[in-house]
Structure 1
Amino acid sequence: MTQAATVRHLPTMAAHYSPAVLPVKTHVTACPPALFAAVSEELFRPLSDHYPALYWSILAALYERKFESVALELPRREAVEIAEDVLRESPEWAERREALVAGTDAPDAAASADSFASEDTVLRRTAGRLVSRLERSGWFYFEYYKGIGEVLNFRPHPARIMGALMSAARDEQPPLPGFAHGVALLLQPESVAAKPGLAIAGVKRQTMEFSRELKILHGSIRESTERLTAREITAAGILEEALDRYEDRVRRNYHQLKTRDNFYRWRLDIVSRLDQLEGDDWVIEEAARWYAEQARVAPDAGRERVLEDLESIRQQIDSLPRVLREIDERNQRFTGIALRRLTYLLKNDARTEAHLQGIIELLVRREVDGLDVPLYRCELLGDSFLYRPRRRRAPVAPQPVAARPPVDETAVRTAFAKRIADPYSRARLEAYVQALLDGRESVATSDLRVGSDADYVRLIHVVGLAGRAAFVFAPDACPQGCAGGCDACRVDAGQYVLPAGHLSLAPPKP
């Protein structure tokens, strides 16, 4: 598919992969895309005919020869020989030869001629008719090459369909694409600045592919769980499913989701970059111009598609956490079922536990309406038997709710206000100095007696605030003539030491 075609079908992809499990607004096209406008209406008819396995085997052999070998040309003669080999080895040719020869749209003359031809000739003619039937259905066509003759070429869309069918037939689980890292790279400022439209289209394509693969992974876990609960499964089958198939189909991609491609490591960056893109007018205009050029539409239509793609990307990213959570839950459920089922099968012997388990399974599967099981009174249990009957618990009696004593709200507020009030505020310190002076002009620190650490800390605040409040502190001259700091400059106040000096009220300002 060309780049222009890719962009042209982006809204259609959003309609197919929109998360139906979430109550979000999704973009849905007015009408679904017309599949049979691109491929023939007869394309799938041979695979739903009387011989689907035979037609599929021929298509698969031709596809492998055309696309999985080094040769470029596949002449008609070689294509018929491939179909002849497939037909010879098929069980239909051995079991339903006459019906197959008569049911391949053979003309009456050819059918009558086949009745007199040899076995190899009938086989070759039948193979040629099968190839012609697939050609008329639209899977491939024959083109004339000079010097070679007619050469088989698959049509583009059927070739891609065959690739997907071959992958399904081989039970292949492709590795999960590196979505988070790839999207983060596409949303880098330098990538967006170079080609805004190409970056947005690439982000949407990777987001859709990642969402699709996650939902496929979600379904793969469910299928593996269903196979574990099949009645005919054995212990060996459980080990094969849990260790081999589950490893290839689920556990490898699940491990990648939890390690190097962890979505939650990149989610915040991706959402932040989307917010920046939606608010950047230059990016929107450049992307709209690129969309319009690729899809050959008007600039307004290109801008509308850009906004639709950004909205679709955001919706998909918002839906991913729920899908990832469901995958985690189903993976845990699968592990638990595998362990319990394996334990049951390994212990499935003649003990009573195994018989009861089998009876329960029969009743649950509704394979029997009821079981006539004779019950006998057990009278041989001694004192050492570990079973103890259940004891009925005494019902809980209602208890009255204790009434709370009345509270003096005023007293509570007052006490709380005192507790949170600043004890060293300017007003409190000024009131404290006024109380120390008690009408005197000054008071010496040698006359003070400090009774606690709180009083000592308060005096420290008083000395520090002196000169900036309504009081001052004048240090006494040192008798030893030092600049201050010696023992002669300090006085004892109980068990504390204070600087020698006098506290007095500050003179009034002129």
Structure 2
Amino acid sequence: MILMNEIPDRFWGLFRSINRSTYIEALLRINEEYEYSNYFLSREVCLQVLDEYFNQKRFVIWQDELEDEADETEPPAFRVLNWLLRSGWLRKVDDYASMTVHIVIPDYAAVMIEAFFKLTTDEEDETQIYIQNIYAILFSLKNDPRASIGLLNTAYVNTKRLNKTLQDMLHNMDKFFASLLEQKAYGELLKDHLEGYVEEIVKKKYHILKTSDNFYLYKNDIKRWISSMREDVSWMEEMSVRSRSKVTAADISEKLDQIERGFDGIEHRIANMDKEHSRYIRATVTRLNYLLNQEDNMKGLVIRLLNHLSDAEDQEAAIQETGNFMNLSQVSILSEHALYKKRKPRSVFKETLLPDEESVELSSEEILNLNRLKSRYSKKEIESYLDSHIENGRMEVTEGTVTTAEDFEMLILAYDYSTRRKSIYAVEDPEPELIDNGRYRYPRLVFVRRKEL
């Protein structure tokens, strides 16, 4: 039976109602008593449960679309129960033998109430339940001769649910990154981390995956059983004969493959959770260190200045105002030496003047270290530069190759890259002649692509 076809139209009025939260709380209380009373409640018990709850908490119940003026004079418990009965969330069953009116929860409403319960409470960890169910089902399939194909379908459903639960856990970890940057004080961030992330994610979810009855405790046995079932052709044929529906051995093998692929997905999601956990811990430590030292740390002060400038409505005026207050002669801003030193007499200057040192040509490694170019260009960019100049497998450096400072830097980096073992390029002539185009002086190199690569 498709439950959607059983839902009356007025049922959805709860989500539009101004008393929505009151009705949901009432349903949860009735459902709690409903389970305790073996799923059978009288109207009097429902009214008693609601009356006790409304006495504990004060609620304002506004007139709803299904109510009339006479309903406003009724007590809150009567009003709420009558509204839930009219809208189809609850149903009356008359027992004429005992002259009693029973209140039951329809199947479609029970599904919604279970969702409300999960949204309003800290649900227990479901990963253990699903993995233990899969373990028990496959154990029964392998050892119990009465087991049928229905157990295999149940194991597949539990595998999908376990994957969905882990994926939800992984997605819920993202919200902690957003709250990380919202905290402006060290104490607030530490409290949010300890009471939020550690309590909700680490202790209740992530920690369970790594300790006690975790996934890895059952994984190897389950995979071994799946492999042995797939190889046991006689067992699969016996299962297909025992099945009432037309299930072949190929169908059973495909279902086993789906369960195994599901376990591969579970391992992948747990690995992603490990990465997210490590990334969040690193980000938290960095943020805590920044908030703790931002007043004393030059980097923290610069970040605060940039944030202030970006938040200003008139950024040009803010920059001008900041420049008027900056003292560029402070030692901590520019260098360890003062900007101005008193000049000594010319005679002293001549005596202490050292002879001109003969200029020494720097090596490529020294130039790289001096200009710190290694961090400016990646390996892929250097290879792209060489690829763009290659013709017939060769790149010949000429007077027109270097015209700007960037060209000069890329040529140096290309030469440095070609000397490495794993480079896909090499220099043909180790001692080329020099080129002087008036602005730059550099060797006439010839780059070729390595044949072995």
What's the TM-score bracket when you normalise by the shorter of the two chains? Answer: 0.5 to 0.7
Taking structure 1 as reference, are residues 247 and 159 closer, same or farther at Cα in structure 2, changes over 3 Å only?
farther
**1:392 aligns with one of 346, 371, 375:** 371
Is the Cα–Cα contact under 8 Å of residues 208 and 316 in structure 1 kept in the other structure? yes
| Post-superposition CA distance 1:414-438 (Å, at most 9, x none) | xxxxxxxxxxxxxxxxxxxxxxxxx
Taking structure 1 as reference, are residues 289 and 140 closer, same or farther at Cα in structure 2, changes over 3 Å only?
farther
- Is 1:271 aligned to residue 232 of structure 2? no
Counterpart residue number, 2:83 = 133
Counterpart residue number, 2:422 = none
Counterpart residue number, 2:67 = 106
- Is 1:223 aligned to residue 175 of structure 2? yes
Counterpart AA for 1:342: L
| Post-superposition CA distance 1:396-446 (Å, at most 9, x none) | 47374589xxxxxxxxxxxxxxxxxxxxxxxxxxxxxxxxxxxxxxxxxxx
**1:74 aligns with one of 26, 29, 41:** 41
**Deviation at 1:367?**
8.2
Give the whole-Å Cα distance in 2 for the aligned partners of 1:387 and 1:245.
Answer: 48
Is the Cα–Cα contact under 8 Å of residues 85 and 91 in structure 2 kept in the other structure? yes
Taking structure 1 as reference, are residues 141 and 383 closer, same or farther at Cα in structure 2, changes over 3 Å only?
closer
SS of alignment partner, residue 177 of structure 1 = helix
5 Å-filtered alignment, 1:186-201, equals 186-188=137-139, 190-191=142-143, 193-201=145-153
Give the whole-Å Cα distance in 1 for the aligned partners of 2:185 and 2:240.
Answer: 59
| Post-superposition CA distance 1:292-312 (Å, at most 9, x none) | 3xxxxx424x76764553343
- Is 1:177 aligned to residue 144 of structure 2? no
| Post-superposition CA distance 1:89-126 (Å, at most 9, x none) | 45534xxxxxx23x34234xxx2x56xxxxxx7142x6
Give the whole-Å Cα distance in 2 for the aligned partners of 1:382 and 1:357.
Answer: 16
TM value normalised by structure 1: 0.55
- Is 1:61 aligned to residue 29 of structure 2? yes
SS of alignment partner, residue 66 of structure 1 = helix
**1:343 aligns with one of 265, 271, 289:** 289
Counterpart AA for 2:272: E
Is the Cα–Cα contact under 8 Å of residues 142 and 229 in structure 2 kept in the other structure? no
- Is 1:238 aligned to residue 189 of structure 2? yes
TM value normalised by structure 2: 0.61
Give the whole-Å Cα distance in 2 for the aligned partners of 1:386 and 1:326.
Answer: 46
Is the Cα–Cα contact under 8 Å of residues 193 and 283 in structure 1 kept in the other structure? no
Counterpart residue number, 1:329 = 275
| Post-superposition CA distance 1:167-191 (Å, at most 9, x none) | 3202334253165565445434743
| Post-superposition CA distance 1:355-375 (Å, at most 9, x none) | 5434555678x7857371312
**Deviation at 1:198?**
4.5
Counterpart AA for 1:336: R
Taking structure 1 as reference, are residues 76 and 377 closer, same or farther at Cα in structure 2, changes over 3 Å only?
same
Count of residues paired in the alignment = 343
| Larger relative contact order (CA 8 Å, sep ≥ 6) | 1
**Deviation at 1:218?**
0.6
What are the ranges of 5 or more consecutive residues in structure 1 without an aligned counterpart?
6-33, 94-99, 115-120, 293-297, 404-510
**Deviation at 1:332?**
1.1
Q: Pairwise CA RMSD of aligned residues?
A: 4.1
Give the whole-Å Cα distance in 2 for the aligned partners of 1:227 and 1:317.
Answer: 32
5 Å-filtered alignment, 1:18-417, equals 36-37=4-5, 39-40=7-8, 42-67=10-35, 69=36, 73-83=40-50, 89-93=57-61, 100-101=62-63, 103-107=64-68, 111=69, 113=70, 122-124=73-75, 127-145=77-95, 147=98, 149-177=100-128, 183-188=134-139, 190-191=142-143, 193-231=145-183, 234-252=185-203, 253-261=205-213, 263=215, 267-289=219-241, 291-292=243-244, 298-300=245-247, 306=252, 309-347=255-293, 349=295, 354-361=300-307, 370=315, 372-373=318-319, 374-375=322-323, 376-381=326-331, 391-393=370-372, 396=412, 398=415, 400=427
Counterpart residue number, 2:444 = none
Give the whole-Å Cα distance in 1 for the aligned partners of 2:163 and 2:26.
Answer: 34
Give the whole-Å Cα distance in 1 for the aligned partners of 2:135 and 2:123.
Answer: 28
Is the Cα–Cα contact under 8 Å of residues 24 and 116 in structure 2 kept in the other structure? no
**Deviation at 1:291?**
5.0
Is the Cα–Cα contact under 8 Å of residues 4 and 108 in structure 2 kept in the other structure? no
What are the ranges of 5 or more consecutive residues in structure 2 without an aligned counterpart?
339-368, 374-408, 420-426, 431-453
SS of alignment partner, residue 151 of structure 1 = strand
Is the Cα–Cα contact under 8 Å of residues 179 and 261 in structure 1 kept in the other structure? no
**Deviation at 1:141?**
1.4
Is the Cα–Cα contact under 8 Å of residues 141 and 154 in structure 1 kept in the other structure? yes
Is the Cα–Cα contact under 8 Å of residues 84 and 123 in structure 1 kept in the other structure? no
Is the Cα–Cα contact under 8 Å of residues 180 and 263 in structure 1 kept in the other structure? yes
Taking structure 1 as reference, are residues 377 and 209 closer, same or farther at Cα in structure 2, changes over 3 Å only?
same
Give the whole-Å Cα distance in 2 for the aligned partners of 1:178 and 1:171.
Answer: 16
SS of alignment partner, residue 379 of structure 1 = coil
Larger radius of gyration: 1
Give the whole-Å Cα distance in 1 for the aligned partners of 2:230 and 2:333.
Answer: 78
| Post-superposition CA distance 1:193-235 (Å, at most 9, x none) | 441425423421331232122112112212233232335x654
Counterpart AA for 1:141: R
Give the whole-Å Cα distance in 2 for the aligned partners of 1:160 and 1:130.
Answer: 20
Give the whole-Å Cα distance in 1 for the aligned partners of 2:294 and 2:77.
Answer: 52
Taking structure 1 as reference, are residues 165 and 187 closer, same or farther at Cα in structure 2, changes over 3 Å only?
same
Taking structure 1 as reference, are residues 319 and 61 closer, same or farther at Cα in structure 2, changes over 3 Å only?
same
Is the Cα–Cα contact under 8 Å of residues 196 and 283 in structure 1 kept in the other structure? no
